[in-house]
Amino acid sequence: MRLKKFVLVLFSGLFYSTVFGQQDPQFSQVMFNQMSINPGYAGSNDMINANAINRIQWVGFDGAPSTSSFTINSPITPFGFKSGVGLNILTDNPGFNKDLGLSFSYAARFKAGKGNLGIGTSIGFINNSIDPNWNFPNVSADNAIPQGKQSSVNFDLGFGLYYNTDNMFFGLSATHLNGTRMNKSISPSHYSRQYYLTGGYILNLPNPSWQFSPSAYVVSDLVLSQFSLSANLKYNKKFWGGVSYRIGRLGEAVTGMLGIELFNGLKIGYAYEFSMREISNYNDGSHEFMLGYSFKLKKERPPQQFKSIRFL
């Protein structure tokens, strides 16, 4: 019974993708990985930032969606001009559909008020493939399902603005600006343009060991939208925990998050998401794991000291 319910949900998702266009995969900890949605984020601080997230959705179903993201970005100063570069790798496996995305980002960075503004673009490709060997129980033959494995590689383009200061950030970005096509030989479908709006603030509490960080996240294809509100509490700049609430095109969901910075910029995080839709009765929720590392290539030199001339 659980599997039949999952099949119905999966086919509903495939129908939606065909008619309205493919959506970007979702992450609960996107605030720790904004490089994946906004090329303007590249080089937004003075460190090299690498981040990996793995999301396992609807635990308890065979063939349930799984998504992984790896990003890395770094500030650069070619000819003295402040910039940032980044790399984004994404794999998304919902059922028999598999996507592999690879993109490169560049952001020009400018001083603006008390912070910095990044204006960035991303260029890459998406490899979309369908494997019909994924077995559907008790489902009759469908001519829309191909008889052999098919795939296509398509150009993809994104753009973003990212502004940040020491205690706040604001981002506006868009993915799939060129309306990336997918599997042209199978059906006329495409990746919908996705528009993202993000913002957050770091509030130092009276006790200097504690920080409170509210943030908001909106994504829309101008047909359906999704809104997420998060709140994190951080202790001693090393331990954090929080909750988020999401409502919109994917229904309602509540997420709990925990994380720790182990040492020298190495951090790990975990999120558990509980859907408030009917499908929550047939799965054990979604798990998300995050690993991040921030570092500098050049170590700061200590102040130079000179010996007394009497000992030279």
What confidence score (pLDDT) does residue 232 get?
Answer: 96
pLDDT of residue 139: 53
Hey, what are 256's tokens? 């709990």
Question: Residues 98, 129: contact at Cβ < 8 Å?
Answer: yes
Q: How confident is the model at residue 302, as a pLDDT?
A: 55
Cα 109 to Cα 269: distance, rounded to the nearest angstrom: 29
pLDDT of the residue at 194: 94
The two structure tokens encoding residue 258: 């925990």
List pLDDT tens digits, range 222-247: 989 999 999 999 999 899 999 999 99
pTM of the model: 0.84
What is residue 112's three-state secondary structure?
strand
Is 238:260 a contact under the CB 8 Å cutoff?
A: yes
What is the model's pLDDT at position 106? Answer: 98
State the pLDDT at residue 19: 41
Give Rg (Cα) of the chain: 22
Q: What is the pLDDT of residue 14?
A: 42
How much of the chain is helix, strand and coil, in % rounded to 5? 10, 55, 35
- The two structure tokens encoding residue 94: 């919902």
Answer yes or no: are the C-beta atoms of 159 and 39 closer than 8 Å: yes
- Enumerate domains of the chain plus CATH numbers: 2-297 (2.40.160.40)
DSSP 239-262: EEEEEEEEEETT--EEEEEEEEEE
Residues of the chain with pLDDT under 50: 1-21, 306-312
